[in-house]
Amino acid sequence: MSLLIKNGRIITAADDYVADIFIEGEKISLIGKELSIPAGQTIDADGMLVMPGGIDPHVHLDMPFMGTFSSDSYETGTRAALHGGTTMVIDFVLQKQGHSLREALTEWQSRANGNCLGDYSFHMAVTDFNEHTRQEIQTMITHEGITSFKTFMAYKGALMIDDRQMTGLMQEVKKQGGMVTVHATNGDMIDYLVAKHKAEGKLSPLYHYLSQPEVTEAEASARFADMANYTGCPGYIVHLTCEGALNAVRQATRRNQHVFVETCIQYLLLDASRYEQDFDSAKWVMSPPLREKKDQATLWAGINQGLVNVVATDHCPFKWEQKLMGKDDFSKIPNGHPAIEHRMELLYSEGVHKGRITLNKYVEVTSTNPAKIFGMFPRKGTIAVNSDADLILLDPHAQHTITAAGHHMNVDYSAYEGWELQGKIKTVLLRGKVAVNDGECLVEKGYGQFIKRHKVSGKI
């Protein structure tokens, strides 16, 4: 099957020009002006922005958490992602303490394989680093194409590893050509504050926020950067939210270190005033929590300064009945919020349209940088000959409103209810096939492929 996209304004992380794109099979075959090539299908993209499909490197689909599971399956989550212009996601396999990485991977494959509509890959979350785990690292990188290893500096007793384990993991991952990513918050300090607030009878969602002050993230981010610098291991901080944490990264650059930084769309657009409501605030209970307006300004500046490399979602949705598990105790509210469908359009409307970032920067942080950092470029993350034909056509003039009634995520509320957006994604291509067109999904579950990733350099 061949497909010709005519007259689109092509935007990559470096380019901005009008041309045609000829696709054969799953790959881009030719890019040029006024191409007149017979094709099985032709799309007129006049007036449209043609950009690489979004890559969201931080999602949690069908994830066990606090006695329940996140409400989007691999089928519903990747379908919603496609509707929003995200053609690939990277999810997290969570090792159980006392068990192997292989056991964890097998469990997650049983949920994901054959169920995804969009392409996908995995990070491996290491929660028990020991000699057996160390011996599995090479196999994960070389044979499974899983080159990134997630660590938690919080959630003691379930996910958290200590600095001894972190250092050992970093040394082995560096040796094998991988990267260590981190949830950088000081778990011991947070646990103390949670217990203190509960003992004082302070149980509303506001105290979720007050149990994770900025210092808990700033301290852990600095400590992670120090360990990455000592070991020489490429490091990546997930969902960074605040000025103090970004300043820790900024400080690391003074010794010629580069730490990759991801923020999420919610931290750019929402702030801690959401926690001043009643239990409705549970919609925005996530970790780290939403921060202050000054932190939003810092993150937008960090994107333009090149300190913040990726805008993801940390998509981890729970239905309202699940959130109600914590109605009388904020520490029992499942952490997470739905955003996989809205990241691309929100960032275009609030970022590009409002003049906060350029179109090229938009492509860089939503697609190209994730592809480069996680070992998929140039197959993914750009518009080039021989790259996968993962493309979005965005109408910059279309206006629309986000509602829970209109989204495709398997959750019964929206964190962005009533937001009016400028710019709408009209058509989405995944590996040369029209996956979404005018709100209709045209691929079935199982079309999504697992993408093996190559070793990482720690540079972009």
Q: Can you read off the two tokens belonging to residue 297?
A: 């300004």
Q: Is 332 left (phi over 0), alpha (psi -120 to 50) or beta?
A: alpha
Integer-rounded Cα Rg, in Å, for the chain is 21
Handedness of CA 452, 154, 217, 222 (dihedral sign): negative
> Who's near 197: CB < 8 A, 6+ residues apart?
203, 207, 210, 211, 330
Strands 391-401 vs 420-430: parallel, antiparallel or unpaired? antiparallel
* Average pLDDT value over all residues in the chain: 97
* Residues 273-309 pLDDT 10s: 999 999 999 999 999 999 999 999 999 999 999 999 9
| DSSP state, residue 366 | I
| Cβ-Cβ contacts under 8 Å for 349 (sequence gap 6 or more) | 421, 422, 423
Average pLDDT over residues 194-221: 98
pLDDT band of 66, cuts 50, 70, 90 = confident
Label residues 381-413 b or e (16+ Cβ within 10 Å = b): bbbbeebbbbbbbbbbeeebebeeeebbbbbeb
Task: Check residues 457 and 213 and name the one with the higher pLDDT.
Answer: 213
The pLDDT of residue 14: 98
Residue 1 has pLDDT above 90, yes or no: no
Q: Does domain 53-373 have CATH number 3.20.20.140?
A: yes
Question: Greater confidence, 262 or 66?
Answer: 262
Residue with the larger pLDDT of the pair 458 and 376: 376
Q: Burial level of 214, CB count in 10 A (0-12/13-18/19+)?
A: middle
Cα–Cα dist 3/25, whole Å:
8
**CA-wise closest residue to 341 among 324, 317, 320, 372:** 317
Strand partners, 429: 391, 434
Q: So what's the pLDDT on residue 220?
A: 98
**Span 34-40, average pLDDT:** 95
**Architecture of the structural domain at 2-51+385-397+420-441:** Roll (2.30)
Hey, which residues does 152 pair with through a beta bridge?
A: 160, 183
pLDDT of 69: 95
For residue 303, give the amino acid letter.
I
Contact call for residues 393 and 50 (beta carbons, < 8 A): yes
1 vs 268, more confident: 268
Residue 458: its pLDDT value, please?
87
pLDDT of residue 191: 98
> pTM of this prediction?
0.98
**Banded pLDDT at 457 (limits 50, 70, 90):** confident
Length of the chain: 460
Tokens of 238: 């997930």
Burial 68-98 (b: 16+ CB within 10 A, else e): ebbbbbbbbbbbbbbbbbbbbbbbbbbbeee
Q: What pLDDT does residue 106 have?
A: 98
pLDDT tops 90 at residue 68: no
Average pLDDT of the residues in 368-378: 98
The yes-or-no verdict on residue 65 having pLDDT over 90 is: no
> Cα dist. 414→185, 187, 293 in Å?
26, 29, 21
Q: To which H or E segment does residue 49 belong?
A: strand 49-52
**In the chain, domain spans:** 2-51+385-397+420-441, 53-373
Q: Determine the residue type at 268.
A: L
Of residues 189 and 1, more confidence is placed in: 189
